[in-house]
Structure 1
Amino acid sequence: MVLQKLNLILLIVIMLLKQVVKTNLHLSISNIAPSFSSCSSSLFQNIQRHSSSSVMRAIQQDEFGGPEKLCLGNASIPEPSKNEVLVKIFGTAVNRADCLMCKGAYPGQKKNSKPDILGLEMSGKVHSVGLASTKWTIGDRVMGLLPKGGYAEYAAIDENHVMAVPDGLSLHEAGGIPEVWLTAYQLLHFVGNVKENDIVLIHGGGSGVGTAAVQLVRLAGAIPIVTAGTKDKIDTCLSLGAKNGFNYKEGEFAPGVLEATGGVNLILDCVGGSFWKQNVACLAPEGTWVNYGLLGGANIDGPILGLLLAKRASLLTTTLKSRSNEYKARLISEFSRNALPYFVKPAIVHGQEIRLKPIIDKEFKLESASDAHRHVLGNKNIGKVLLIVQDEKD
């Protein structure tokens, strides 16, 4: 009888010891903080700021899908390589590409891999620099182009992919500049070879890229006209200097474009398939059609080659995310030299003052990234939708 009681007591002690070890191990693992915390864990549904110097807040997802898959979790702060800088992020923004990557639907994206932290741009302050980095110093106000990782408190970035934030702009506003302004600059100057007095048709005029392109077309001494889906979006573009605007939801835009212009020299097209016939119709002889998105589908059924050939026109396609680091560095360098100064002081073009400005539609807190995605997917925005990562006074 005594032996049985001893065995029972021993069994209870062993069970208690196992529980203590398990609890301590769990706490130890939680304190270390893995690189990717589980979004499904209730521990991270209402995550608070932490004191660990190696851990940051970041938006994550367990699997590809819609905005509902995004949640706030913990991630390890990245270490900058020798030619990188580590930036403490204050602002970032939601782009169409982020929405596609969230679903695993971005061209070339590997669907069998774990989703990365989203975010193709950011603004903030340099927190530390790599061993061979010489362009920036700690505390510099910067913004930059990222391959991923902007929806977080810190990001490591190639020093050549960083630009100074113009005086007079907040770090939050600057978070909405890199991706769309560099895209628009690339479309116009690196791909479309815009020339003075060209007439440029910009689809999605009310978008982030569209509102940037309207201003950059004017800066180049060319003439912007736009299509958009609401009167408010068209009015915004007209206030930025677009000469004409056409609501594609009210009927075909090609007749109005041709009546107003006689034919356009350059088209910036984020729509694709559903606009192809009207695009070809709008092109002037030897005009250029630059496609950079497929919101209207990828398929075309018709004699597109014959129609382009008859006009000796060019159809070019481009993306930015998949470009080489060298290409992005050259793009950022030229944009910094030829456009960035005019966020601070006006340029005089054809006798008119032109001062560049980011168009901000709405701001969301980082933890509300899913709501920000829904806002963009609903085509509700005019200009950029920002994610505020932390207050500028932090």
Structure 2
Amino acid sequence: MRAIDLPEYGGPEKLQVADLPQPEPAADEVLIRVSAAGVNRPDIVQRNGHYPAPPGASPILGLEVAGEVVAVGKEVKRWALGDKVCALTNGGGYAEFVVAPEGQCLPIPGGLTEVEAAALPETFFTVWSNVFDRARLQSGEILLVHGGSSGIGTTAIQLAHHLGARVFATAGSAEKCGACEKLGAERAINYREDDFVAVVREATEDHGADVILDMVGGEYIERNIRVAAYDGRIVNIAYLQGSSVEINMLPVMLKRLTLAGSTLRARSAKVKADIASSLESKVWPLIEAGKVRPQIAAQFSLEQVADAHRLLESGKIIGKVILKI
């Protein structure tokens, strides 16, 4: 099969189209002929040598796909040949074929193309497990999303808005802020021009944010503590500005804050299957009703994978980057 090989870590130019062995599904897995695959920041981190595949997982990059089931393991019960699915993979998505555990596959929501469906799994699994499971965001609460124009950000804004929360977001340009507000953010704050702590505090009558989803880290860690509401929950899912900081923990104690973080890839198949079940029952109806849509910034062919990585790294996009296989 054609797939993207990474013979050595480094820049986007290290990614090469190669002829690699086609995987075979284990007893609890399905084999998917890939139509499209999402490109995500964890792929960039893996390309640079800092996010190795878990034991037993494919070393090929790619954590989410959409396509057709073409083979099933002997223990698979739900899926049959010809089913159209999107899936959270444990690796291997940048290829013509990939295997995925049965429980990490979901039906492609009605009304979505396979390209759009390929933008769902990694992002929606991440947002649901962190914002709604871990941070327990409730209707009527206030969510602050950093990186609001990213794939994660655009997903979090839409889901929180349609599930009854007030949403604030940060982004780096007027265009990105406008996109966040169109998706449901009450106010998007251009972090190059305004202090998000002051803006959110003023807009919420000094209440602050009940939940904060942060992928920036660095100086934002201390500022998140300042803008958090009493009993607030702060969840870090990445550290684009670094993870080593010095902070005063006294406000954490006085405000009864919860600081949390997580990665998705290393979690068990059972946990991922439970997240998939929640998404199908609570989020897929929103997608099929047209209330929530994946935001596609750009599409590339498999041979253009290096350009796809360069665009994602540039930060000059709103939404997701997709490879069409």
1:335 is aligned, of 279, 285, 292, to 279
2:6 is aligned, of 37, 54, 61, to 61
Q: Is 2:117 the partner of 1:117? A: no
Q: Is 2:317 the partner of 1:381? A: yes
Secondary structure, in 3 states, of the residue corresponding to 2:109?
coil
Q: 1:279: which partner in 2? A: 224
Q: Is 2:18 the partner of 1:79? A: no
Task: State the structure with bigger RCO (CA 8 A, min sep 6), 1 or 2.
Answer: 2
Secondary structure, in 3 states, of the residue corresponding to 2:224?
helix
2:102 is aligned, of 149, 153, 159, to 159
Secondary structure, in 3 states, of the residue corresponding to 2:202?
helix
2:112 is aligned, of 152, 161, 169, to 169
Q: 2:183: which partner in 1? A: 240
> Which one has the largest radius of gyration?
1
Q: Whose helix proportion is higher, 1 or 2? A: 1
Summarize deviations over 1:130-159 as a string: whole Å, max 9, x none: 122121111111000011000000011111
Give the aligned CA root-mean-square deviation in angstroms.
1.6
Q: CA deviation at 1:110?
A: 7.5
Q: TM-score, normalised by structure 2?
A: 0.96
CA distance in 2, matches of 1:57, 1:189: 37
Q: 1:314: which partner in 2? A: 258
CA distance in 2, matches of 1:340, 1:302: 40
Q: 1:187: which partner in 2? A: 130
User: Cα 1:309–1:321, aligned 2, differ >3 Å: closer, same or farther?
Assistant: same
The answer (yes or no) to whether the contact 2:53–2:91 under 8 Å persists in 1 is: no
CA distance in 1, matches of 2:247, 2:320: 35
Identity over aligned residues, as a percent? 38
CA distance in 2, matches of 1:219, 1:320: 24
CA distance in 1, matches of 2:32, 2:62: 14
The answer (yes or no) to whether the contact 1:226–1:245 under 8 Å persists in 2 is: yes
CA distance in 2, matches of 1:288, 1:302: 16
Paired residues, what number?
Answer: 322
Q: 2:85: which partner in 1? A: 142
The answer (yes or no) to whether the contact 1:88–1:154 under 8 Å persists in 2 is: yes
The 4+ residue runs of structure 1 with deviation greater than 6 A are none
Secondary structure, in 3 states, of the residue corresponding to 1:258?
helix
Summarize deviations over 1:211-244 as a string: whole Å, max 9, x none: 0000110132111110011111111110011101
Q: Which runs of 5+ in 1 are unaligned?
A: 1-55, 347-354, 390-394
CA distance in 2, matches of 1:218, 1:146: 28
The answer (yes or no) to whether the contact 1:194–1:220 under 8 Å persists in 2 is: no
CA distance in 2, matches of 1:253, 1:344: 33
CA distance in 2, matches of 1:313, 1:81: 43
Q: Which runs of 5+ in 2 are unaligned?
A: none
Secondary structure, in 3 states, of the residue corresponding to 1:369?
helix
